[in-house]
Amino acid sequence: MTKYLAAALMLAAGAPAMAQTLTNATDRPPAEAFSETQYGETVDDPYRWMESGERAKDVEAFIRQSSAHTVGQLAKLPGRAKLRERIAAGVQAGVRYGDLNEAGGRLFYRRTDPGAQLPKLVMRGPDGAEKILYDPEAGGTKGPALSSYSVSPDGKTLAMHTAAGGAEVGTIRFIDVASGKELPDKLEPVWGEFEAQWVDNSTVTYTRMAATDGDDAMQNMRVYLHKLGQADGPALLGAGVAGTPTFDPREFPFISYVEGSDWAVGYGGGARADGRVMIAKRADIAAGKPAWREIAQYDDRILTGALYGDTLYLVRTGTAPNGEVVALDLKAGATLAQAKTVLPAGDAVIAEIAAADDGLYVLAQTDGISRLFFVGKDGKPVESKLPIQGNAVGLESAGPGGVTFALQDWFTAAEWMRAKDGKVSPLGLASASYKGVAGARQVRETATSADGTKVPLAILLPPGYKSGPAPVLLEGYASYGVNTAEPYYAQWMFGLLESGGVVGYCGARGGGERGRSWHEAGRSANKPNAHADLIACGERMVELGLTTPKQMTVIGTSAGGLLAPPAALKRPDLFGGLIANVAVLNPTRLAFAENGANQFAEMGDPTTAEGFKALSLADSYRLLLAAKDIPNTLITVGLNDRRVEPWFSGKFAGRALDRFGKTRLILIRTDPDAGHGIGSARDQLVEQFADVYSFVLHQAGAPGFE
């Protein structure tokens, strides 16, 4: 029997853990007896009290005190300072460009400069000169971060959403591009993902959150009309808006427009892969009196859409799991049943579409590698050649200028491109790539899951790696049809790679790696398939000789809390470490969390017997009761998080400490000035990742982190 196998068997049998150089905090939250019966099942929940708004300060105090202990210990690890230096260098390699839009002959984009904490909003004119329109660090003080923005059709006025503290709920303000001065209009409260949409050069519609006092602010959103310089106009779409399609309070309403079209497209959606689609006349929107015609419901499985003139293009996945593009003639009153196929389903999974004057552009991917298809006026699809094998994102129509998009891979920062008549050329906005990971490389593998399913696995190997076990961080997500195995510029991983770590991305079912059927196979009651996939990816990393269980940490972020923690509790012998990063850890309680009801369509509805059972299969807080062991665990929390409430982490930590606190590390790390990670300043993220990777390297016994 090998030394490794003997150790693995001891762990599986629940043998006491070896002594740790890190320790758990002595602060423990009180367990208060609570029991109830749900759908015939007795539920014991001694940390139910944490869900009470009246005791939020107690939860925060526990998290803060535990975090102070964790951060203080990690800071003393000899290797952390060098690790932090590497992380900081990786994200300050040069100028980066993102979120590009074109309007009025001008380019608008975010620009992140070396040393900057947050990106600036910049306009580049026809002469190539840049003008800063918003700098959150102007004057030497940190202002609210830019969440999203949009530009009027003539390019003369800009609407931007900003939010402070990473909370994502903020204000839309307007800037006169020529003078750079801010206009008096302010629209709030608005969730950061919802841009103001321009009806014309002086009128927008926007999705506003309901002003609530202690209720779920993510419910009952409505779209309002706003003319610059005036008070808000009427509500046009959303729950309870008379004379419009019926909306559930959980649905997010949204209206979009494109230049050259007399139509407006309304959407209903949320934290799910599909959306409802409806149309109205643009002029009626401007008058505040739209007559909506519904086009598609959730059961039609519409992934996304694009509008050009009188034609509405939709990506439909109901009968074609990889997606097919269909077109409706709105002027003729065509229904979805009368839609004409423009691009039939193929082996590539469709992700984005955009329509321009020269034709329709379709971004698709095959096992994470993007492909661009162009359908010109002759109606014949042609695949356009891309400069690199990577991931294309941010596809936007530029009207007479074709389309724009960014292209990147794991080690190549985003470069913005234009496609015109199907031909791709650079825009002159190439982000700088970090040279410190020169020699790092990607390996594409597959893992065989418990039922024989082949699961895509992308592996990043550090510079100079030849062979032998190394520290591994394995990540999975498996929700909303998001593709985990597609390349993105992994700048926040570079410090770990430079320190000899290996990174794995497991494309478990529930994601979009292989189309709609792949998503459904790991969603809700099927989430155990995703657990098996992630476990298979971990086993494959060991089989390849890249690591050992002791050296491998698995991480789940946000909805990945339904994936990584349950997999780790099922196989504590396979994963030496677990990171639950702003994670959903007690999903059977979603109905009582802000932004919880919004998750029902994807995860399951805990107010029904079927949904409660489905969520129980991925509820780590509940799974702790029967677990035989847990890997050493780091729980990261954002105290301003409006997507995943901090009490999810608090409850899990309390129960994990009760059960395994004497033999396992149950550490908490928080940032009181951060939310879900969106809008955090650079140095905040550098410190967070330095702590996270220090935990990974400590768990693996790496030099300087023992």
User: Where are the domains positioned within the chain?
Assistant: 58-89+435-700, 96-191
Section 105-115 average pLDDT: 96
Q: Convert 597-617 to b/e letters by CB count within 10 Å (16 or more is b).
A: bbbbbbbbbbeeeebbbbbbb
Section 25-53 average pLDDT: 96
pLDDT of residue 140: 81
The Cβ of residue 701 has, within 10 Å, a number of other Cβ atoms equal to: 14
Residue 697, both tokens: 């390297």
For residue 648, pLDDT over 80 is answered with: yes
* One-letter amino acid of 300: D
User: How does residue 251 score in pLDDT terms, banded at 50, 70 and 90?
Assistant: very high
For residue 50, pLDDT over 60 is answered with: yes
Section 111-124 average pLDDT: 96
End-to-end Cα spacing for the chain: 26
Rg of the chain in Å (alpha carbons): 25
For residue 700, pLDDT over 80 is answered with: yes
Backbone angles phi, psi at 323, to 5 degrees: 95, 140
Angle at 273 between CA 269 and CA 277, to 5 degrees: 45
Cβ proximity of 296 and 312 under 8 Å: no
pLDDT of residue 213: 54
pLDDT of residue 706: 84
Q: Convert 55-84 to b/e letters by CB count within 10 Å (16 or more is b).
A: ebeebbebbebbbebbbebbeebebbeebb
For residue 10, pLDDT over 80 is answered with: no
For residue 675, pLDDT over 90 is answered with: no
User: Can you tell me the distance from the alpha carbon of 508 to that of 491, in angstroms, rounded to the nearest whole number?
Assistant: 23
Cβ proximity of 171 and 188 under 8 Å: yes
pLDDT tens for each residue of 453-473: 999 999 999 999 999 999 999
pLDDT of residue 704: 95
User: Can you tell me the distance from the alpha carbon of 271 to that of 274, in angstroms, rounded to the nearest whole number?
Assistant: 9
Mean of pLDDT over the chain? 94
DSSP state of 402: -
User: Can you tell me the distance from the alpha carbon of 157 to that of 180, in angstroms, rounded to the nearest whole number?
Assistant: 9
Q: Which CATH number fits domain 58-89+435-700: 3.30.530.20, 3.40.50.2300, 3.40.50.1820, 3.40.50.300?
A: 3.40.50.1820
pLDDT of residue 536: 98
User: How does residue 215 score in pLDDT terms, banded at 50, 70 and 90?
Assistant: confident
DSSP state of 100: E
Q: pTM for the complete prediction?
A: 0.94
Angle at 205 between CA 201 and CA 208, to 5 degrees: 145
User: How does residue 678 score in pLDDT terms, banded at 50, 70 and 90?
Assistant: confident
User: How does residue 214 score in pLDDT terms, banded at 50, 70 and 90?
Assistant: low
Which residues have CB under 8 Å from 666's CB, separation 6+? Answer: 24, 630, 633, 635, 653, 656, 657, 660
For residue 13, pLDDT over 80 is answered with: no
For residue 593, pLDDT over 50 is answered with: yes
Residue 505, both tokens: 């991305």
User: How does residue 165 score in pLDDT terms, banded at 50, 70 and 90?
Assistant: confident
pLDDT tens for each residue of 376-399: 999 999 999 999 999 999 999 998
For residue 107, pLDDT over 90 is answered with: yes
For the chain, what is the largest distance between any 2 Cα atoms, rounded to a whole number of angstroms? 79
pLDDT of residue 14: 39
pLDDT of residue 212: 57
pLDDT of residue 16: 39
The Cβ of residue 190 has, within 10 Å, a number of other Cβ atoms equal to: 25
The DSSP-derived string for 323-368 is: -EEEEEETTTT--GGGPEEEE---SSEEEEEEEETTEEEEEEEETT
For residue 440, pLDDT over 50 is answered with: yes
For residue 92, pLDDT over 60 is answered with: yes
For residue 352, pLDDT over 80 is answered with: yes
User: How does residue 324 score in pLDDT terms, banded at 50, 70 and 90?
Assistant: very high
pLDDT tens for each residue of 289-312: 999 999 999 999 999 999 999 999
User: Can you tell me the distance from the alpha carbon of 141 to that of 371, in angstroms, rounded to the nearest whole number?
Assistant: 43
4 vs 549, which has greater pLDDT?
Answer: 549
Backbone angles phi, psi at 170, to 5 degrees: -155, -145
Signed CA dihedral, 683, 687, 692, 697: sign only: positive
Nearest alpha carbon to residue 436 among 493, 490, 489, 494: 494
